């Protein structure tokens, strides 16, 4: 009986030891500054094939209150899409278009500082509490570099 108990405890211990895990990548969060609510109530997010120089459009999504969280603090509104598939990431090139002022911001070549951690818990099921930060991206064909671990989390668009 002791042997079986020891065997079960040993199996649980060894299967719960952490395995190296790549931390998920951050996504770029669109933030409008000095716009009224009505000026940004509809934003169009265009997704393009990566590296196509915006020549091969895959699809477009209209960001509204039904599929995007709008957080307002003073004169700044942050748009956070609910669906992970329409968050700005490095899988595609992107354009953010505001019909109000006809302003388009193009985003491409997002680079990350990849982070790794060890997953722990019973059978390595505990989620990793880490993120791989954006370190640079191209905005309208100009390279934007990071000055801190989360400094590139937001894509600021000024009126």
Instruction: Give CA–CA dist 57/23, Å, rounded.
Output: 29
Query: Among 22-31, 78-87, 111-120, 134-143, which stretch is predicted with the lowest mean pLDDT?
Result: 111-120
Q: Tell me, what's the pLDDT at 128?
A: 57
Domain ranges of the chain: 2-158
The model's pLDDT over 66-116, given as tens digits with 9 standing for 90+, comes to 899 999 999 999 999 998 888 999 999 999 999 999 999 999 999 988 888
Instruction: Give CA–CA dist 36/14, Å, rounded.
Output: 56
Sort 50 into a burial class: Cβ within 10 Å, 0-12 / 13-18 / 19+.
Answer: middle
């Amino acid at each position: 009986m002791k042997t079986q108990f020891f065997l079960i405890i040993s199996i649980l211990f060894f299967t719960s030891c952490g395995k190296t895990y790549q931390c998920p990548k951050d996504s770029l969060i669109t933030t409008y500054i000095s716009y009224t609510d009505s000026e940004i109530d509809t934003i169009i997010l265009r997704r393009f094939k990566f590296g196509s120089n915006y020549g091969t459009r895959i699809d477009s999504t209209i960001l509204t209150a039904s599929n995007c969280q709008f957080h307002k603090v003073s004169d700044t509104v942050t748009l956070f899409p609910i669906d992970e598939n329409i968050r700005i990431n490095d899988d595609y090139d992107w354009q953010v278009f505001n019909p109000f002022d006809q302003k388009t911001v193009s985003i491409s070549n997002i680079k990350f500082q990849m982070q790794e951690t060890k997953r722990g818990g019973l059978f390595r099921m505990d989620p990793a509490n880490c993120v791989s930060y954006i370190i640079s991206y191209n905005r309208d064909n100009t390279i934007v570099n990071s000055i801190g671990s989360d400094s590139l989390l937001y894509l600021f668009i000024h009126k």
